Structure 1
């Protein structure tokens, strides 16, 4: 799948689960690991876990590679690595603390 299509797919799937404050960061010029990072918030541990699980499940159902998923057991910050797109699903407190938008933006 083309990178822009993969990005659109990820954005659509996290929207399905009502992710909030979605920000897309183009990191092609600053990272050799991925092209885009998506940062979004969930209202609770359970919602953060559900958003990430839904994205990973849908990706697998569409024969997309889920390279990795970290943080699922704790639910404060779950990272879903789709290769060219990495999605960070975070609780508000964790997002405020790490401020990925400022770090990568």
Structure 2
């Protein structure tokens, strides 16, 4: 079977999704391995982009675990388990800045209060 991330990426490209970014979050999350983030220029395009991802993967026998936000069309999340696709309007994408959020190493309990655990 072809890589589902590649199929989803191509489905976003096919409908002229903007600023498509693929992130490997396997080191940061136990829940998923990859994120695809894409900008749509209108709520209609956001919905269409997400639907195209679902349709193209369905042709390969892959169905999403869930799809959220399609009614509003401002931010649609398509969950495939190891892969999560976010299709967002530009304002929301800028506001939530998922690329930055998912590039930050999470705090550990040790030192989370700002103290340096390695200093006596």
Q: Which has the higher contact order (CA 8 A, sep 6+)?
A: 1
What TM-score do the two structures reach when normalised by structure 1? 0.93
Deviation per CA, 1:28-78: give whole Å up to 9, x if none. Answer: 001111100011100000000000011112212221021110000001100
Please state whether the residue corresponding to 1:87 is helix, strand or coil. Answer: strand
Higher helix proportion: 1
Larger radius of gyration: 2
Deviation at residue 99 of structure 1 after TM alignment: 0.6
Q: For 2:84 and 2:28, locate their aligned partners in 1 and report how far apart those are by CA, in whole Å.
A: 14
Query: Structure 2 unaligned runs (5+)?
Result: 104-120
Q: How does the TM-score come out when normalised to structure 2? A: 0.82
* SS of aligned partner of 1:31: coil
Task: Flag as ranges the 4+ runs of structure 1 deviating above 6 A.
Answer: none
The 1-side partners of 2:54 and 2:85 are apart by 10
**What is the total number of aligned residue pairs between the two structures?**
103
Aligned mates of 1:72, 1:80 — CA distance in 2: 9
Consecutive unaligned residues of structure 1, counting only runs of 5 or more, are none
